[in-house]
Structure 1
Amino acid sequence: MSLTQSYKFHVGGKDGWVVTPSENYNHWAERNRFQVNDTLFFKYKKGSDSVLLVTREDYFSCNTTNPILSLKDGDSVFTFDRSGPFFFISGISDNCNKGQKLIVVVMAVRHKHSPSPSTSPATPPIPSPPSPPTTNPPVESPEPSDAPSDLDAPAPVPSQQQKSGSVGLVCSTWLVLGFSTWVSVVTLGSF
C-alpha cells in the first residue's frame, strides 16, 4: 500500500491568471514537476476572464469556440487525472494571442518494482583503446666509470667548470616508473 501526496500549484504565482504575468506561464510550468492528482489553481476576476482546457490544435490557434472544459468562477481548480500534456488558454481569444496560455506536462505514474535479473540484458564489457606504440631512444651501454653503481644514489651535481662548457661525456639510461614518471641516471666522464 502506497500513499501519494498531491500538490496545489498557483498558476502565475502572486500575479494569478492575467494577460501579462511577471513570468511566462510555460517557463513557470517547465520549472515545476506535475503528477497525477496534483491541482492547478487559477485566480482571476470572475466575469472578466475564464480558463479553457483545449486540444493541442486549439491551443496553438487560440480557438476558444470548442473547449474540452470551461472554468469561469474566478477561483478555478483543475485536478490532473492522467499523465501527459494539458493545454489551457484564456477564454478571451485576444488574451490567448497575447500569451495568456499554458502547457502542463504531467509525469507518467511510476510503479516501484525491482527488475528481475533474468530480464535485464547483460552489459558487455567496454573495450579499452589500444595503447599507442612507444618509441624509446636507443640505449647505449655506459662507459665504465668511477660513478657509484647504486641506482638509488642521487646523480652527482656538475661542477662549476662543467657548467661553464668543459667537454664531458654524458650517457643516460632511462628507467620507466609507473605510466609517466621517468628517472634519469647520468654517468659523467671526461675526455
Structure 2
Amino acid sequence: MRGLQKLTVVTPALEHFTVLACFYRSRNRPVADISARQLKELRWGDLFDRSTVKLGRMKHLEFLCPDLFLVYGSSPNNPCLALLWCFKIIKELCLTVIYLPDINDEQYLLEGMKMLPAVTSLTLCVTTNGHAFGASLFHILKLCSGTKKLDLEFSRDNLEDQTACPPGCICDEQQNWKAEEL
C-alpha cells in the first residue's frame, strides 16, 4: 500500500500488526489512528510522527520493532526515536542498526538516541558493511542496562569475506567506549 494518505485501524482483538513502507512515498506526514487494545506485537517499518500518528492504549504490547536505525547518515533517525518514545516499558525490543557502505562524509546519528524503553529482551540486528561497530552497540547497550536477554544478529553479508574499511574511516574514531563499563 505505497503512498497511503491515512490509516485507520480499529480492531479490539488484533494481536500482531505490521506497517511497512506505506507512507514513504507520500509527501505529507504519516496520518494514522490505531486502536488495538489486545495488540501484542507491533512492527513499524515506516515514517512515524507523534503528532499525526495516534496509537491507542496498548497495555498488552510485548514486542516492538521500529524501522531501521542508520548509524551514520544525513537524515536523523527521528521517526524511529519518536515511536520508541511512545513506550516506557517493552518486554522485547528489536532494533535494526545499519552502517551504509560509504560513511566518511556522513554524521554520526546515534547521538540522538538518548533514551530507550525499559526492556527485558533486546535483539540487535546489525549490518556493518565492514565497519567497526563496537561504539554503536555499546551506546545502545548502555541505554538498555536492565536487559536480561540479548540476541545479536549479523547480516549474512557480514559473515562473508568483506573488504575492511579504509584506514582513517570515521567508524573507528570513537575509541572512548573501550574503557567504559556497562
Q: TM-score range by the shorter chain?
A: under 0.3
**Which structure dedicates a bigger proportion of its chain to helix?**
2
Q: Normalising to structure 1: TM-score of the pair? A: 0.20
Question: Which one has the bigger strand percentage?
Answer: 2
Larger Cα-atom Rg? 1
Q: Which has the higher contact order (CA 8 A, sep 6+)?
A: 1
